[in-house]
Amino acid sequence: MDSKLKILVINSLSERQIAMIESVDPCIEVSTCEWGEISRHIAGADVLVPWGWMDISPYFASASRLRWIQTLSAGVEKIIFPALINSDVLLTSARGIHGIPVSEHVLAMLLSFTRGLHLNLRSQVYKKWQRFPSDEAHEKTVGIIGLGSVGRIIAKKCKALNMRVIAVKQHMSEELFVDLLLGPEELDHLLSSSDYVVLSVPLTPATYHLINAERLQKMKQDAFLINISRGQVIDEKALMDALRAGQIAGAGLDVFDTEPLPADHPLWNFDNVIITPHCAALSPYYLDRAVALIADNVARYLRGREMLNVINKQKGY
């Protein structure tokens, strides 16, 4: 019997990063491959480390040794499929490593709207000297839907701007940087009270089109919606209708129903929409943080300790 714990990472890693994982225990053997090569390597893997967008279901039956999947991303919606749910294969995510870049991305969008930078950038393209209305984030209310590891860091940084923070969370807890914590049944109160609404929830059946036409109508007319979770959390048609009707002031979107966003998509044409190409989590330090988490979880796995970020495969988070 092979005594090695074979870890297959579906991404390139540096020698230093591989060494970091292998230094946990002499039994560990790390190999890497590209997504298009997975069929040639997965059969020998005890642990698979893919990105959350990778559909591994066609290869699952041939992964006879597989015991554990550790994603490189927080989102796991594309990884979960019936055969995996019904198996004993453990699923863990990289939740918790995205907080710094994603929270900075949220603040960049929030402050761009507050100071009118999105409009000034458009004027710069045409060399047009024009002033736009400006506001302050100071003492404004930000509503965070989903207070996980990313949501908490967003809350902390918004408090540093002297903003009032309210949040919706599945389960009540003591939160240092939240002024008002609400349950899911009080979502409408958050929407009607917030100057900025930030979506920071996983995509599950319960959060699909969570922000629909009815909920957009609950928002303040001068409020902005920021989405750094998943595109399907918003009903895009309802959002565009609300923007056209002036029901909300604007939207900052990093995620979309279809990615890349098609060139002929109407969202490109709104002056009050900031579009970024699903890059909120990007950072030169991302893989180092992911590798540190993987190494920690491998150590926990081998020593029979509680694992980090274990996913309930039935619930999807």
| pTM attached to this predicted model | 0.92
Question: 152, 215, 230, 236: which is the annotated catalytic residue?
Answer: 230
Residues of the chain above pLDDT 70, percent: 99
User: Average of pLDDT values for 249-254?
Assistant: 98
* pLDDT 10s digits, 50-61: 999 999 999 999
Q: In the chain, what are the domains?
A: 5-97+284-303 (3.40.50.720), 99-275 (3.40.50.720)
Question: How high is the pLDDT of residue 63?
Answer: 97
* pLDDT 10s digits, 7-49: 999 999 999 999 999 999 999 999 999 999 999 999 999 999 9
With cut-offs at 50, 70 and 90, classify the pLDDT of residue 1: very low
* pLDDT 10s digits, 117-149: 999 999 999 999 999 999 999 999 999 999 999
Q: Give the C-alpha separation, 219 to 217, whole Å.
A: 5
User: Average of pLDDT values for 238-262?
Assistant: 98
Asked if 136 is an active-site residue, the reply is: no
Asked if 303 is an active-site residue, the reply is: no
Question: 278, 289, 303, 305: which is the annotated catalytic residue?
Answer: 278
Asked if 152 is an active-site residue, the reply is: no
Question: How high is the pLDDT of residue 32?
Answer: 98
Question: 139, 244, 259, 305: which is the annotated catalytic residue?
Answer: 259
Lowest mean pLDDT among 76-85, 109-118, 248-257: 76-85
